[in-house]
Each structure stands twice: as structure tokens, then as C-alpha cells.
Amino acid sequence: MSPSAIRPVVAIGAVHMDTIAHAFQDIRPETSTPAQFGTSPGGVATNVARALNRLGLETCLVGSVGDDGAAQALTRQLDAEGLRLCLVPRPGFATGRYVALHDPDGSLKAACVDDRILSEAPADLFDAVLDEIAGTAPGRTIWFVEANLPAPVLTRVLERTGSGLVFANAVSNAKSVRLKPHLRRLNCLMLNRGEAAALTGKPEGTPLAALAEALRHTGLETFVLTDGGSQLMVLEDGSFERFVPAVTSIVDVTGAGDALTAGIIAALARGFSLKEAVPFGLSAAALTLRTTGALAGSLSWAALGGN
């Protein structure tokens, strides 16, 4: 498929500087632990946009940064990677930061985030830049949104997507409810067990099939529901399909869910159905789990089995 035939993507949401610590022994409270540190761009929309760029899609990243060194470093790196950047500056705010501590087995021990630049943003933060993008974006554009966007911002963003395809990520149990008023507008939602419970009011321990059925009654017509690394339930064209990820080694869980999302979007942008696209997403997630950080160096469309 020629690059011009692939749908472009506009990703809107968090732009962070991530600091990831990989401990050499199990992390214990109230003492220091020897570790290796790494710093890289992060945030759900940023992770997805970077991965989509690697997967051969024309991608625009919409977000907000402060007037600090982190903003300058992020802008230089993301621009060098080939992303189209539409970053709204917010003087006086620190660029988003995320710090994660991982045990030697790659599991996440603890994390902290400073996302005030977005969580305290005015409703019209992205109005001007999105109006400009919408004026030139082709009708086949895929709009990616995520629930890190505050509810008032999210509402105004979705008002500016027109009739384009909207793909969303629920992000967390608490933030997922920001999407609830817009479920019928979404063409596809990525979410996990906890986020599904938050949206449906069901207990988190509800069997996955029952959670999926409850989600069907929220107005969602298409979704990908994950249950850790054990299974996924996909609703498309009124029917469910279950997928079981292949077993893989884990170095770092950072960004695996975002890679899953990007792999699926990359396949949808090439004309695959959602159920056909999921295996590409699972391959992208597996690559990410086997590496450090949110973006696997080996990630490419060919590496996912595409051609």
C-alpha cells in the first residue's frame, strides 16, 4: 500500500517527559535501591503518536508543554523523529513529568505524575489549533483522543473531529468516566477490566464476557477490552471475538498498552477490520514488553508482519 493511501492520524492528549528507573533488586520502602535510569518522551498520546510514526503513518501530535527545558528537549526529539507537532505552550506551567519505579522483573512498583499542565487546562486550550487542523485534514483522518484530557477539553475536542473516525483510550479507572457522555460518538474504545467496571458500574471482578456484554449496552458499538496479559474481548459488527496474547518475556511494562493501541490503529489505517487489526496490536505490545521504555527500537510495520 502506498503511503498516500494510508489514513493520517491526529493524536490529542498528554505530552510528558518520562523518567524510568529499573531496579537491580526488589524495591523496598524507606531506603534507596540501586537502579538504572532512563529518560524519554511519554504520555499516552505521545506514546501512540511516536509508535504510529514508526509504523509508517503520517501523524500529528496535539498537546501542551511549558516554557522549560523539558519542553525544549521534547520538541527537539519529537521533531527529529518526524512527527508533526502542534504543541500549545502554557507559560508558567511545568511540562508534564512521569516517574516510574520498576522491579527487576519489569513490573511497576510505583509511579508519580505531574500533569497539571493538562489537568488544569482551560476548556478552549486546543480550539485554535484543532480548528486549523480540521480545516485541512482529509475526511479519512483518524482522530485519537485519550481520557487524560479534562472533561471540558475532551468535549470541545470531539466537537472539532467532524465526521472523522474517533479512536479513544480510557487511560485509567478514574479518568475513563470522562468518556461516558461521548460513547456513542466513539468509533472504537480501548479499555481494560477496571475501566470497563467504572463505565458500567459492574464489580471489577465480573467475568470478562459479562463486562463486555455490559459495555455493549452503554452505547459503544466497537471496543477492545483487555484483561492484563491474559485475554482480549473485541466487539465489532455486533459480534464478540476473544484473543489470547502469546507468552513473551517482560523487561518493562511501560507503554505496552499504548503500543497495542498504535498497532491496531496502524492496521485500521491500512484498511483492516478491527478483528483483523488486533493481532498487529498484540505484536506491537509484545515488542514493547521486551524492551526498555515506551517505544521499542525494533518497532516497524514489517516487524509486526505487515508488508
pLDDT at 107: 87
Copy the grid coordinates of residue 105: 522483573
Enclosing domain of residue 99: 3-304
pLDDT at 2: 65
Domain tally for the chain? Answer: 1
State the residue for C-alpha cell 508533526. 84
Q: What is the pLDDT along the chain (307 residues), one digit of tens a residue?
A: 666 789 999 999 999 999 999 999 999 999 999 999 999 999 999 999 999 999 999 999 999 999 999 999 999 999 999 999 999 999 999 999 999 999 998 888 999 999 999 999 999 999 999 999 988 888 899 999 999 999 999 999 999 998 889 999 999 999 999 999 999 999 999 999 999 999 999 999 999 999 999 999 999 999 999 998 889 999 999 999 999 988 788 877 777 899 999 999 999 999 999 999 999 999 999 998 888 777 888 899 999 998 7
pLDDT at 307: 78
Could you tell me the CATH number of the domain that includes residue 108?
3.40.1190.20
pLDDT at 1: 64
